[in-house]
C-alpha cells in the first residue's frame, strides 16, 4: 500500500514544522513510560523530544521497538530528576530510565565536536582513522539534528505542542523511501563504520533505497569494520539477520562488500553462479529464519550460525584429516575449535551459543548411528531437534541419497510408538558401521581447553 505523504509547513528558519493536525503520531501510540519522561523533563524547564526510530516507525504506521528521547538536560540533570535512572556509556554518555524491563534512553543534544577546543579526551576524542572514540560535546536541538546518522532518524516529536520538527529533510526522504546520510558520507562512515551496516539494515527493514552518494563509499570503506569491537558486531549481526529480513539483508551485505567483514570464513566459498551447497544452505536457513520470525516463532542464533558455518567446518576438518593424518573425529573436534576461534575474531559469539553450535555439529556425526539404544539416546539429547533440522536442510540441498534416507528414517522414528521404534531399529540389522575413534589426547586436550 502506498504511503500517504505527510504535509509540512515551513517556517522562516531552516526548520520544517509539521503541526499536530498534519501528522499521524498520537500519544496513545507512545508508551506510557516514554510520556512520563517527556512530561517530567518538560515540566522541569527542559526541552524534550521523542526522536529516532520511534518517530520514524510511528510515521510509517509500524510499532516501534523502543522510544528514545533527546533533551537539553545533561545526563547528570536527568539523573537528578529520576531516581530510577542510571548513566551508561563512555563513548556517548546516556541516561537510562528504568521502568522494570522497559528502558527509556535519554540522550543530551550533541554539539559540533570538531569545532570545540578541548584537551579533555572524556569530552571529545577521535582516532587517526576518523572514528569517534569519545563524543560528549553537548549542543542545541538544531546541532543535534545534523549530528544524527540518517535523515529519516532525525525527526523530533515535541511533547509541548505535539508537532514534528524536521531540520534535514527527513520527512521528504521518508515519503520517498530514501536512506540518506546527514553530512559527508565518507566522514560519517569513518566516525562510526557501523553506519554502513545500519544503512543496509534500514534499507532492508523499511524496503527503501540507499541514496547513491550514501551508497558509493561503502564497498571501499568496508574494511573499517575490522576496527569495531567483535562484541558490538555480534549484536549488529543479530539485528541484520534475525529481525525478519535476513535474506534480503544478506543480499545487500554482499552487494556492498560488507559480508566478508562479518563472516570471513564464508566469503571464500561464494561462487559466480551462487549454486554451491554452502550458498544454497545459507540462503535456505536465512529464508527459514525470516519465515519463523514473521510467524512469531522463536529462533536461536546458535542454529543460524551453526548452519552458516557448517561447510567451512567440514572443509577444514577434511583438510586436517588429509594434512595431519588424524582420524576424522579428531580432526572434526579440532576444526570446531579453529572455526569458532576464527569467527569470534570478527563476531564475538557468546559461549552460550558456541556450546550449542558444537552440540549441533557433533550430532551430525552421531545421527547416522542408530543401532541398539543409540537412537533413543539421541532423541533425548536437548539439541536433537536443532541437529535434526540442520540434517534436514543438508538433505534438501546435497545430492546424497543416504542423507535423504536418514532424514526420512528420523522423521518416521520421531512419530512412531515405542514398539514401532524397536522394529525400525531391528530392521536396520547389523549393518557394518565404522567405529568412531576416540579423539586423540592432543585433540581432546585442545578441545577441553577451548571449552573452558
Give catalytic residue positions.
66, 68, 149
Rounded distance, CA 203 to CA 253, Å?
A: 11
Q: Three-state SS across 275-296?
A: CCHHHHHHHHHHHHHHHHHHCC
Q: Which residues contact 117 (CB under 8 A, 6 or more apart)?
A: none
In degrees and rounded to multiples of 5, residue 69 shows phi and psi of -125, 140
Instruction: Give the integer Cα–Cα distance in Å for 244 and 236.
Output: 14
Report the distance separating Cα 301 and Cα 234, nearest Å.
10
User: Hey, which residues does 86 pair with through a beta bridge?
Assistant: 96
CA separation for the pair 38, 73 (Å, rounded): 12
Indicate the DSSP class of residue 263. -
The number of beta carbons lying within 10 Å of the beta carbon of residue 283 is 15
Cα 71–Cα 201–Cα 103 angle in degrees, nearest 5: 35
Q: How far apart are CA 40 and CA 106, in angstroms?
A: 12
Nearest to 311 by CA among 411, 406, 399, 390: 390
Question: Which residues are CB-contacts of 279 (< 8 A; sequence separation ≥ 6)?
Answer: 269, 270, 271
Q: What is the enclosing helix (H) or strand (E) of 369?
A: none
Dihedral pair phi/psi, residue 207, rounded to 5°? 55, 50
> Comparing C-alpha atoms, which of 366, 380, 376 is closest to residue 422?
376
Return the C-alpha cell found at 287.
529464508
Amino acid at each position: 500500500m502506498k504511503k500517504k505523504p505527510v504535509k509540512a509547513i515551513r517556517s522562516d528558519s531552516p526548520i520544517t514544522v509539521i503541526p499536530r493536525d498534519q501528522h499521524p503520531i498520537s500519544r496513545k501510540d507512545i508508551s506510557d513510560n516514554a510520556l512520563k519522561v517527556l512530561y517530567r523533563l518538560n515540566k522541569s524547564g527542559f526541552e524534550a523530544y521523542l526522536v529516532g526510530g520511534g518517530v520514524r516507525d510511528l510515521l510509517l504506521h509500524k510499532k516501534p521497538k523502543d522510544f528514545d528521547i533527546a533533551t537539553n538536560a545533561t545526563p547528570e540533570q536527568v539523573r537528578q530528576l529520576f531516581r530510577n535512572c542510571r548513566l551508561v556509556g563512555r563513548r556517548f554518555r546516556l541516561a537510562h530510565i528504568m521502568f522494570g524491563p522497559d528502558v527509556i534512553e535519554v540522550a543530551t543534544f550533541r554539539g559540533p565536536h570538531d569545532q570545540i577546543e578541548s584537551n579533555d579526551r572524556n569530552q571529545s576524542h577521535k582516532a587517526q582513522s576518523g572514528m569517534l572514540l569519545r563524543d560528549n560535546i553537548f549542543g542545541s536541538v538544531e546541532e543535534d539534528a545534523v549530528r544524527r546518522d540518517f535523515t529519516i532518524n532525525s525527526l523530533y516529536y515535541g511533547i509541548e505542542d505535539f508537532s514534528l520538527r524536521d531540520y534535514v529533510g527527513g520527512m521528504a526522504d521518508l515519503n520517498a523511501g530514501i536512506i540518506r546520510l546527514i553530512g559527508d558520507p565518507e566522514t560519517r562512515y569513518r566516525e562510526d563504520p557501523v553506519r554502513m551496516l545500519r544503512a543496509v539494515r534500514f534499507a532492508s527493514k523499511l524496503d527503501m533505497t540507499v541514496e547513491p552518494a550514501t551508497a558509493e563509499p561503502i564497498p571501499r570503506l568496508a574494511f573499517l569494520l575490522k576496527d569495531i569491537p567483535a562484541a558490538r558486531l555480534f549484536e549488529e549481526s543479530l539485528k541484520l539477520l534475525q529481525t525478519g529480513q535476513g535474506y534480503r539483508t544478506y543480499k545487500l551485505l554482499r552487494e556492498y562488500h560488507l559480508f566478508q567483514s562479518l563472516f570471513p570464513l564464508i566469503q571464500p566459498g561464494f561462487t559466480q553462479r551462487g549454486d554451491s551447497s554452502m550458498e544454497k544452505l545459507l540462503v535456505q536457513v536465512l529464508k527459514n529464519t525470516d519465515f519463523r520470525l514473521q510467524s512469531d516463532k522463536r529462533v536461536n542464533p546458535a542454529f543460524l550460525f551453526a548452519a552458516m558455518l557448517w561447510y567451512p567446518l567440514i572443509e577444514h576438518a577434511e583438510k586436517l584429516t588429509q594434512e595431519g593424518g588424524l582420524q576424522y573425529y579428531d580432526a572434526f573436534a579440532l576444526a570446531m575449535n579453529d572455526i569458532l576461534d576464527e569467527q569470534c575474531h570478527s563476531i564475538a559469539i557468546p559461549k552460550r551459543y558456541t556450546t550449542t553450535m558444537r552440540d549441533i555439529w557433533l550430532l551430525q556425526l552421531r545421527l547416522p548411528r542408530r543401532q541398539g539404544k543409540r537412537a533413543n539416546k539421541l532423541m533425548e539429547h536437548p539439541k536433537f531437534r536443532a541437529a535434526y533440522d540442520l540434517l534436514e536442510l543438508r538433505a534438501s540441498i546435497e545430492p546424497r541419497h543416504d542423507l535423504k534416507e536418514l532424514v526420512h528414517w528420523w522423521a518416521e522414528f520421531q512419530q512412531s510408538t515405542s514398539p514401532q521404534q524397536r522394529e525400525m531399529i531391528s530392521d536396520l540389522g547389523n549393518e557394518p558401521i565404522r567405529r568412531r575413534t576416540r579423539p586423540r589426547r592432543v585433540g581432546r586436550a585442545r578441545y577441553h581447553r577451548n571449552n573452558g
